[in-house]
Amino acid sequence: LKVTGMDVTQGSLFGGTVVTISGKGFGDDVANIEVKTFVADLVEHGTGYAWDPADVTVAVGDRVVWSWSSSGSDTNYGVHQTTDSTGEELSGFSSGGQTSSGTFSYTFTSEGSYYYTSGSVDPMGEIKMLGKVTVVAAADSTEALSVKVSGKEAKQNLSGSRGRRSSCSGAPPAAPADAVYSFSYRNCMTAVVSSVSPTEGTADTVLTIQGEGFSTEACENVVMIGEHQCEILTASEDTLTCQVTPGNSMPVGMRLGVSVDVKNRGMAAADNTWFGLLRSVTSVSPAQGSTEGGTTVVISGFGFTDGTTVMIGSSGCDAQSVSYNEIFCTTQAASALTRDVVVTTSSGRVGCDGECQYSHRDSATPRVVSVDPSTASGASTDFTISGVLFGTDADAVTVEIGGTPCQVTAVTDGSISCTAGALLAGSNPVTVVNTLGKAASSASVDSPAQIDSISPSSGSMAGGTVVTFFGNGFGEDTTVTMGDGRECTIDGEITSTGFSCITPAEGDHTVQMSVQSNGETYPSQSFNYAAASTPVVSGITPSTGKGGDTVTIIGSLFDGPSSSRRRRSSGNVAVSVGSAPCPVTALGGGQLQCTLGNSVAGSGYAVSVTVAGMGLATSSVTFSYALSLDSVSPTTGGTLIFYDESDVHLQAEYILIVNDGTLQVGTEDDPFEHQATITLHGNLRSKELPIYGAKVLGVRHGTLDLHGKHVAHTWTLLAQTAAAGTDTLVLEEAVSWEAGDRVVIATTGHRHSQGETEEREILSVSNGGRTITLTESLEFEHLGEKVTVDGVELSFQAEVGLLSRSVLVQGSSSTEGWDETIEACPEGFDTGEFVTQTCFQGRFGEEEGSDQFGGHLMLHQPDRNGGLITARIEYAEFNYMGQAFRLGRYTIHSHLNGDMSGNYVRGNAIHRSFNRAVVMHGTDNWLVEHNVIYNIMGGAVFIEDGIETGNTIQYNLAVFIRSSTSLLNDDIMPAAFWLLNPDNIVQHNHIAGGTHFGFWYALEPHVLGASFAEDPALVPNSVRLGVFQNNTVHSNGWFGIWIFEDYYPTEPAVYRGLTAYRCEKGAEGVFIGDVTFDNFVVYDNEKAGIEIKKSVVGDWGKSKVTNSHIFGHTPLTAEDEGTKGGIVLPFGPHYGVEDTRFYNFDRAGTSAITITRIDGTCNDWCSGFVAKVSGISYYETTKKAAFDWEHESVIWDVDGSFTDTGIAGASVAPCTGVLPPSCTESEEYSLGAHPGCVCRDPDVKFVIFTSYL
């Protein structure tokens, strides 16, 4: 691989010189060859919050390139020229819209100072980056030649260099000392364009370009207008002329730069030389046509766009298609005259640059003189049309007769032969169109209003006879009236040769049937209402029955007309009783049998028989549908009260409270003391009520009062650890629970210990309500410990919740077919996002099968905020509820009710639900408190559309909220509390042993679902946070709290007092704005205590962790375990950690602070942002920070507490060779793959930028 020669060794300062390089081994793939002679004209600006450098000096002809990338923060950049250094007024070059990453380049062609701005970088519009480019005169230079093939540098042998003779005086600048071949950029080789005239024009405009240094050979000059070549006409040393040839795509109405490239010299210097192409019409073809219009006209020119209109004088020419160069339009009729053709686009009238007139001419108008035949009927007719100027091309002629196409078979200038289908009755004008346009014509074809026959001509006096008409010219507007003016109802399709209608009832006589169509009246037809053509129903047996019964109908003429009796069939007879069909099963002997359909009970239902070919049977026979009771329900609008004198059990398929009805089981002041049970029955194939579904207790308008016996403590904590094998629980609070009640004991194990939650029955209660003895021993250990670390008390106490209540609402559980025992999955259930599960059922241990079709309670009034519902539900038990994989079928569901003030769900036990627990859908101001929620598929407490506000969710216990296998992604990865609107009160709740999340703030940019129309402008992910405080999550598969995906509140959002332990992460925020995590206590979590993925704020103090306690391990942590990252810092600027203490980060694999990763976005060489920390303290912590690459992050120690130096403004960053000597490596901050350095000098500042080479 070598270079042996170089042809042309000097040229223009602006490049563009064609150089020929000779040698060996270049290959034939241009993509692999890289040739360089000059690299110094490229200036790149960096990324971040300042251009670096902000002031750069370049030479005329240099191209400046700006490159940027937001690298994890919500920032967007641009490059926009401004009038001065203030950056306020835009003028000149621009990169266009703001982007998070990109490049922009601009070539400077004249000397001067150019100011520019980045535009608004941050979402708040507070940051703008200003810069300046100073352009000076270009100087000659000589650069060494470099040739590479597939990255390998070619050797250079000086054996064939031929520098061509130039007009330059003096030698070029010396080449670099080590150069073999070189190229000289010289002013004397640079042509100059001084002017271009004219600066605007149409296609074929001749441009005159003045300057110096042009080639006198026309072919050695190339003139470009933007990206379009201008055809050279003449050339001299100081003048070029060229003709504008826009082709089919040259932009119109805008300035396009004019450039000149001179062979053996290169690009000419050109300053502010441009040309604007104007739209133009160049020709109209044909130039004349018919006065009747219909001529297809082609208008040629340049710059046409969609929305173009064409006028010929005052008459239009209807556009059929528009392209850059052509418009096809169809003329309208006008008098014989020559008129201007005017084309208008959205930018205004298009100029004429040629012949722009069109003539309507009598001499160019075809004429129809006659048509033969002039009368036609039937399905098809051949016609001969006589006239003038028809032409000879059959493909160019179209004919219609009264709107019916006439297929052309032959054409001469004076005659057309064509074939048409059936014509409508009446006069049908003849229309001919050819290349000249529409023919003048007064010829027409008459189609007679003719009826050939009707069938049958007689029928039943009861009506219902289907009469078919055969004839000619029937149209869609056909009507038939009987002699007395009553209508014979059209039945089915109308064709030009026939249609049918159904007769009304009449007495025994003959009537005339009158037909009208297309404005024509047809000859009347006789129809005979005759007793001999009237079937009769004389009886039905039995006369009373219900749906599904077989009845026998007695009468006559059921076999139909005598002509059809030999082929009689039950299919020729239709029977209905009332409105219910009764399909015929047997026919003959003056009777028929049919099977009754379902109908509302009652008497007097008419028995109707229709016989094909005859019509309806006369009948005075009626039938009674018997009342068949499968269940008994109270009448609507009444009150059903459970009297508290004994146990009561109500079983129903559907309960719907309407018309201000009431279902009352106890009251607030007088709760139900006995056992009240409501069992809802149904299955997967049950009929569903509109909106409310099946197996439902619904409230539409009325009151639902469910008040079980008051329970002082619905749940509490273990005061002592309950070991595996024990049958005794010692509680922290005294309870009023009783023998026979069932309880749930939450797991306190690791994040995959969901199967360790246990349900047991109480054998006895002692020790003043603090000790419970179970009927069956525990299988797993449940902690009841409090440990103290450096004065901070940490709770490892299992929750115990009461599942039994004196009021029970349950779905029926049919065990048939579902009663097998399902073995546990051998590998258990893995909560990982992308894992493959080992089996579908039995994921958490042996369990009994189920059809997963439980009951559901639905509150829904017709009008949102209608105030039609009162629902007070307290101390009740809900079991075997929810219908799996069905939207809207949840255990307790308030559906689009709006304001629910005064209503509540309090102190209940909700367990074994196949679809959520409490759903607030389009519901505000609802109270949900002191409930025990256990073994729920999908999200448990669910705020659905994002419009819901003012709800209070407090003092609830949620245990074993588990993944559903279908429905929404939010149920497959469920949270115990799923909130689409943050403006609600969430406090004092405990969550344990769920497969995924404790709290999930799933905030969207708009309201979802049916509530969107209520407030389409609402942006849930910017709404204020109501209250989040004093909540606890433990032993969950994923996170204690998850804010996903975005939350940019319009006022500070402070999440207070979360305790999270033994989860994958205590807390994670994904893309967050002004959000603070305050007073969090996180311990024994696997991957992180608190992690933020991206902070999107414009200033310090908005996004932060404050007053928190972060633990690496505790006395109850296994010796080889610990939290990987106490606080995981985000991608993005301005994140802070304040007044926070780190405990026990002294084990391998743990670190008080690490930097985030975002799977699928960035895992390596990311971030680079500065975080600010202050008020940091430690206990038994030697592993303080971990970095994995050189520029991963900077931790700004505002008060010296993080570095333990006491030096305000010290910093910690990954070590790098550019750090000053005051930055020294420290083992405590070197826990990752890259060592960390402590910079004690406060004057050491870090600037984030990205360089693109």
Instruction: For 871-915, give the DSSP string.
Output: EEEESEEEEEE-BTT-TT--SEEEEEEEE-TT-EEES-EEEEESS
CA nearest 1040: which of 1069, 1061, 1071?
A: 1061
Say how many C-beta atoms besides its own lie within 10 A of residue 519's C-beta. 12
| Separation CA 285–CA 320 (nearest Å) | 15
Query: Which architecture characterizes domain 715-804 according to CATH?
Result: Beta Barrel (2.40)
Report the half-sphere exposure of 827 (CA within 13 A, side-chain side).
9
CATH number of 450-532: 2.60.40.10
Query: Which architecture characterizes domain 191-277 according to CATH?
Result: Sandwich (2.60)
Burial of 125 from C-beta contacts in 10 A (0-12 / 13-18 / 19+): exposed
Q: What is the pLDDT of residue 828?
A: 66
Q: Which phi and psi angles does 703 have, rounded to 5°?
A: -125, 135
Q: Which tokens hold the place of 495? A: 């064709």
Report domain extents, the chain: 2-37+145-188, 42-136, 191-277, 280-363, 366-447, 450-532, 535-625, 715-804, 1038-1253
CATH number of 366-447: 2.60.40.10
CATH fold, domain 535-625, is Immunoglobulin-like (2.60.40)
Say how many C-beta atoms besides its own lie within 10 A of residue 485's C-beta. 7
Q: What is the pLDDT of residue 109?
A: 75
**Dihedral of the CA atoms 1131, 1133, 1139, 1142 (nearest 10)?**
20
Q: Residue 650 gets which letter from DSSP?
A: E
CATH fold, domain 280-363, is Immunoglobulin-like (2.60.40)
Give, in words, the CATH class of 42-136: mainly beta
Q: Which phi and psi angles does 362 have, rounded to 5°?
A: -60, -35
| Separation CA 992–CA 131 (nearest Å) | 56
Domain pair 191-277 / 715-804, same fold: no
Helices then strands (H, E): number in the chain? 1, 119
- Do residues 318 and 351 lie in contact, with contact meaning Cβ atoms separated by under 8 Å? no
Q: What is the pTM of this model?
A: 0.55
Chunked into runs of 10 residues, the chain (1253 residues) has average pLDDT values of 85 84 85 67 46 85 80 74 84 80 80 88 73 88 87 81 65 87 87 93 93 93 93 95 92 87 88 87 95 96 89 94 94 95 90 92 96 91 96 95 94 96 94 96 94 95 95 94 92 94 94 94 95 94 89 92 56 90 91 88 84 93 71 62 86 92 96 94 90 96 97 97 98 97 98 95 97 97 97 98 98 62 65 58 54 94 95 98 93 97 98 96 98 96 96 98 77 94 98 97 95 94 97 97 95 97 97 97 98 91 96 96 97 94 97 90 76 97 95 94 95 94 95 95 80 44
User: For 373-519, where are the E strands, in sequence order?
Assistant: 380-388, 398-401, 404-412, 415-421, 426-434, 437-438, 440-441, 444-447, 450-455, 458-459, 466-472, 479-481, 489-490, 498-502, 510-517
